[in-house]
Amino acid sequence: MRFFIDQLEVLFPYPRIYPEQYAYMCDLKKTLDSSGHCVLEMPSGTGKTVSLLSLIIAYQQHYPEARKLIYCSRTMSEIEKALAELKALMKYRTEQLGYEEEFRAVGLSSRKNLCLHPSVKREKSGSVVDARCRSLTAGFVKEKKERGEDVDLCIYHENLDLLEPSNLIPTGVWTIDGLLRYGEDKKQCPYFTARRMMQFCNVIIYSYHYLLDPKIAERVSKEFSKDCIVVFDEAHNIDNVCIESLSIDITEDSLRKATRGANNLDRKITEMKSTDAAKLQNEYAKLVEGLRDAGEQRDEGAFMANPALPDDLLKEAVPGNIRRAEHFVSFLKRFIEYLKTRMKVHHVISETPPSFLQHLKELTFIEKKPLRFCAERLTSLVRTLELTNIEDYKPLQEVATFATLVATYDTGFVLILEPYESETAQVPNPILHFTCLDAAIAIKPVFDRFSSVIITSGTISPLEMYPRMLGFTAVVQESYTMTLARKSFLPMIVTRGSDQGTISSGFQIRNDPSVVRNYGNLLTEFCKLTPDGLVVFFPSYLYMESIISMWQGMAILDTVWKHKLILVETPDSQETALALETFRAACSNGRGAVLLCVARGKVSEGIDFDHHYGRTVLCIGVPFQYTESRILKARLQFMRENYNIRESDFLSFDAMRHAAQCLGRVLRGKDDYGIMVLADRRFQKKRAQLPKWINQALPEAETNLSVDQATAVAKRFLRDMSVPFDGRFQEGVSTWSKADLLRHKAKVEEDELRVLRAEREDVDMGGGDGGGDDGFDEVDEDALAEMDL
């Protein structure tokens, strides 16, 4: 379908379009035109990705400046999905336009997913692949080879150098698989092909971390121009990603390994002093001059990047007392030893970076400034020593990262030392958490650098929370509803059991037998009436385990067993994958299955239960975070003081976004249908925080149901759904053909004209000034009264 938005012709690869997709594109275009940021919420399964891509590609091709698109998503599968959509879109464009556009798009993933080297690719762990790859591709290894030494090189990587650097791959859309196949064909490394071609691509699709984590972003995403369009898809968890990218946990074990690494470095230095002292001297001279290695900038295989954000890097020479290699190593050893002594404490400590530095200085005479240069100095040293087995130095690198961060940032971070794993543990297992509290710190460079940043997801209500937390101003903030020809999903809030006792996962009553029995009742009832798949979400693993064991005692599971196969998610990802596979098989073949999982687990985030895989989702209890966590407490306090976000507001926001995410799992398109049950008394008050599209489908009458009422409503709903539904009824209502679209546009224009005309008449009349004000006041009061207390 081809149509115009203002002057821009959009080619949409499907014959029909949803009204909300059109609205989404219009708002997107508005954002791009004004070069601002936006937050958009669009229901899951309404073709968010394709509308996003088709508009931005049209925009790119239409305007001469051809702003590059950086599309970031969360998981590998989402990246692949986006790439497939893009491929289909480009195919459609070629067909429609009659010629192939000059267009390149690549997906970038980790080395592990993109390696072709016969032995390296067999490694299981990603970090091992990284390290081994570096040892085969680093610049100095090649130099060694040229000097005639016997070292291994990766042939796939070497072949790249023979090609023209701006034309490593032909034009087109390159999926991960496509890259691998092409790489195998031409014997060239797909990972480095993608990395090096990023500058010459119109679209880049990769994970958040390549843009948000300063350790990676410095290397991968540094050279993008300012007018790039950055999209964060599935961005409802973006604040946590930001925080994680700047947080470090240090354990006793990692410190021990770091010490070993430091000792190794020491030995290497002594060795080098006896064999090749000139090299060390050379490095020393460079550091004296404060010169940064020119080659360092382009060194793809560098040991580590500076973890501090680009704005906070100190652009000056390395301090004198860590200039010499041996001084630096002893410096590191001292720092590690200090951390070890800190670990011996038997009570919880929470302190700010300045007070940590103060204490450090008193005890070990380590100043702040050399600490800040730790990461940089270590990188330089590793390069000079030409170390190849980099994975041995990983813990040391972690310590250096920590050192640099703690010395760079005074505010927005906190150090928490937890000597015991849990409250009741007797054996100390200390962990030093260095936690970022402010999500805005990591994402700030992105907002500063790029003119248009688009944050979008199926569930990011309430929208205004994100600009506040991430510290930006949005040009457009919009939440779209789902237009439906018939009500195809049924949200309900169940607050009471069939015995009228309230049900809640609140701490005081969660283990009450009556509450547990009521929850069990709810589960059995829905197992009876739901065809095929049923998904149940619990707030935590702990609660899930306790409730399941209680159900077992009450013989509830036996009843469920008569109707459905029972599967459980566990923290182990392989077990969960197996459970999922079985679940799908059971849904496709038999009476269906029930999957018991956790609201913050893997299942709730990335897995879709479309069509018969999920007909009902039960959300048992409000998925609050573990509020006793010290890290969370510190973050809440920080937000309270700096952003004026209340503790309770944030907790409830966070719980509701996870609940919404769980609910969204079951509905993946307009031809899908499903029941969404929120089973907790407290949901009643939090209703307003649900995404607009869910909230709109939730009538007041269904916000306070008991279990048997809910069963009745659900049965009626399923009966309605079982009537065959002709796709034709949707036409013009929830799907538009081109004619419908044109009609809509004409109507909008007419409306606008009418408004303009009315305004003009108003002006002509001259009056209506005070009247308008009054009217507004009334409306406001109405709105106020409608909001629940």
Partner 1 sequence: MSRAVQRPGGAAPKRTEITDDGGEFHSYFDSPELRNVHKTDKTSDICPVCKSSRYLNPQMKFLVNPECYHKMCESCVDRIFSSGPAPCPIAGCRRTLRKAKFRAQTFEDVFVEREVDIRRRVAKVFNRCEEDFETLLDYNDYLNDVEDITYNLINGIDVEASEKKLQGYAEANRQLIDDNENRARKAATTYAARQAQVKEQSRLRREANMREEERERQERLEGQRNIINQLASRDGDAEQIVREGQIGLKRRHKTAIPDRRKPSASATKAEDGKLLYRGLKKKTEVEPERPFSPYAGLRIANEYSVVQDHYDAPWLSFAWQDERYLAGGFKIGDFYSRVFSEAFAGLSVFVDEEVAGRNLTGSFSATEGAVAAADQDVNMSDDIF
**Binding-site ranges for partner 1 (CB under 8 A):** 288, 290, 316-324, 326-327, 330, 333-334, 337-338, 340-341, 354-355, 358, 363-365, 637, 640-641, 644, 646, 781, 784-785, 787, 789
- Residue 552 corresponds to which amino acid? Q
30 or 334, CB closer to partner 1? 334
369 or 528, CB closer to partner 1? 369
334 or 744, CB closer to partner 1? 334
Least separation in angstroms between CB 319 and partner 1: 6
Determine the Cα–Cα distance for residues 370 and 352; give it in Å rounded to an integer: 19
765 or 783, CB closer to partner 1? 783
761 or 780, CB closer to partner 1? 780
417-422: long-range contacts (C-beta < 8 A, 24 or more apart)?
A: 417/342, 417/343, 417/345, 417/348, 417/349, 417/350, 418/348, 418/630, 419/343, 419/345, 419/346, 419/347, 419/348
139 or 319, CB closer to partner 1? 319
Place of tokens 């072949």: 159
750 or 781, CB closer to partner 1? 781
151 or 272, CB closer to partner 1? 272
For the chain, the C-alpha Rg in angstroms (whole number) is: 29
User: Any idea what DSSP says for residue 17?
Assistant: B
342 or 600, CB closer to partner 1? 342
Q: Reduce the DSSP state of residue 260 to 3 states and report it.
A: helix
What's the token pair of residue 685? 């008050």
Least separation in angstroms between CB 428 and partner 1: 14
Least separation in angstroms between CB 379 and partner 1: 19
* Cα Dmax for the chain: 95
Residue 432's nearest CA partner among 343, 351, 336 is 343
201 or 381, CB closer to partner 1? 381
Least separation in angstroms between CB 52 and partner 1: 36
Least separation in angstroms between CB 285 and partner 1: 12
Least separation in angstroms between CB 289 and partner 1: 9
Least separation in angstroms between CB 273 and partner 1: 13
Least separation in angstroms between CB 495 and partner 1: 20
Please report, for residues 209, 455, 580, the alpha-carbon distance to residue 206 in angstroms, rounded to integers and kept in the order given.
Answer: 8, 15, 26
Least separation in angstroms between CB 355 and partner 1: 7
Determine the Cα–Cα distance for residues 387 and 21; give it in Å rounded to an integer: 53
Query: DSSP string covering 574-616, please?
Result: HHHHHHHHHHHHHHHHSS-EEEEEETTSHHHHH----GGG-SE
Q: Give the N- to C-terminal CA distance of the chain in Å, as an integer.
A: 46
Least separation in angstroms between CB 682 and partner 1: 17
SS3 labels along 630-680: HHHHHHHHHHHHHCCCCHHHHHHHHHHHHHHHHHHCCCCCCCCCEEEEEEC
Non-local CB neighbours of 682 within 8 Å, separated by 6+ positions: 504, 506, 622
Residue 5's nearest CA partner among 64, 58, 66, 57 is 58
